[in-house]
Structure 1
Amino acid sequence: MAPILLALAALTQADPASAACRVEYKAKQDNPLRLDFGTAQLPDSACASKEAAAKALAPRLKKEGWTLLAIVSILGGG
């Protein structure tokens, strides 16, 4: 039983390298117009402000053909 508890404890400890937050965002595509309200996980370094989150998320969305309109909210860890 002890090895199982130790393994569970190790899995639940926070790893600073994987610290992250989730953001809710609005995005659009043109031709035809499509709107999206979604969520994305971002690294901890992008969680300090909506501006930092937008800077991190906009290039990811652009690669998928979307334009970021707004970061709606920054949520706690993912």
Structure 2
Amino acid sequence: MTGKTIPLLALIALLAAEPASAACRVEYKAKRDNPLKLDFGVASLPDSACASKQAAAAALAPKLAQQGWTLLAIVSILASK
């Protein structure tokens, strides 16, 4: 292996790793006003937020609000890999 291969493989491994505390991923729709922007995204949530769309929304909405987004809907809850 060349000297550049090992750091590249380490970077790929770090990028592919999910947070250890994530128990599920949710697909969501959000908006930002002035000017209007719509977003469809995926977020990792802890196990306590995976039981229902309402629980996922309660956990995700404050995180999105900190970034200036308003949660519109939880589209689906996906099991973590």
TM-score by length of 2: 0.73
AA aligned opposite 2:52: S
2:63 aligned with 1:65: no
Task: Work out the CA distance in 2 between the residues paired with 1:77 and 1:36.
Answer: 21
Mapping for residues 1-78 of structure 1, pairs under 5 Å? 18-78=21-81
Q: Which runs of 4+ in 1 moved over 2 A?
A: none
TM-score by length of 1: 0.76
Q: Displacement of 1:19 after TM fit?
A: 4.9
- Unaligned runs of 5+ residues in structure 2 are 1-19
Task: Work out the CA distance in 1 between the residues paired with 2:62 and 2:70.
Answer: 9
Aligned residues: 62
AA aligned opposite 1:36: D
Identity, % of aligned positions: 79
- Unaligned runs of 5+ residues in structure 1 are 1-16
AA aligned opposite 1:38: G
